[in-house]
Amino acid sequence: MVSWLKPQEALSEPETKHGLTMVLYDGICSQIMGTLTGGAFLVSFALLLGASNKVVGLVAAIGPLTQVLQIPTIFLVEKTRMRKALVVICSFVSRLFWIVIALLPWFAPEGVRIPLFLGSLILYFGLGTISGCAWSSWMRDLVPEKVMGSYFGNRLAIATAIAAS
């Protein structure tokens, strides 16, 4: 495994500051991605692929339904103790499914577009759930407890402001 993905026993103050800066950038990028790949954009894309009302309902339900994967992920995180690796690998692989989704209109035959679309969304959200569970545990150790509330509040405010503009 790549050395920067392995857990560290402790972080120096400069490493913690750098980590907090990177988590802020992550929040901004995640908010932008969520805005551009969800909500009205996602439903519009599904409709352009030929989705029925039932499929639009499934699209809306897939994200919340995959949250059930948090339960086994807790055991995976505890067993492997490789939170950073789980986050990076699952996030990377999950985002590859957006390439599949984006290419559907050009490369998938019309009859399989919707099943491929739904399957890709399930894999994207499922792997994202695994990543999110490991990320929460990782952040609990990275962000100092005395600033955790204000840090994540500021992170959310900055990310939302940038994504809304």
> Residue ranges of the domains in the chain?
14-164
DSSP 84: H
DSSP 25-89: HHHHHHHHHHHHHSHHHHHHHHHHHT--HHHHHHHHHHHHHHGGGHHHHHHHHHHH--HHHHHHH
Q: Give residue-wise pLDDT tens across range 71-126.
A: 999 999 999 999 999 999 999 999 999 999 999 999 999 999 999 999 999 999 99
Q: Are 127 and 91 in contact (CB under 8 A)?
A: yes
Confidence of residue 2 (pLDDT cuts 50, 70, 90): confident
Residue 3 above 80 pLDDT?
A: no
pLDDT band at 161 (very low <50, low <70, confident <90, very high): very high
Tell me the C-alpha to C-alpha distance, in Å, between residue 35 and each of 12, 43, 69, 93, 101: 34, 12, 23, 20, 16
Per-residue pLDDT tens over the stretch 121-140: 999 999 999 999 999 999 99
SS3 for 7? coil
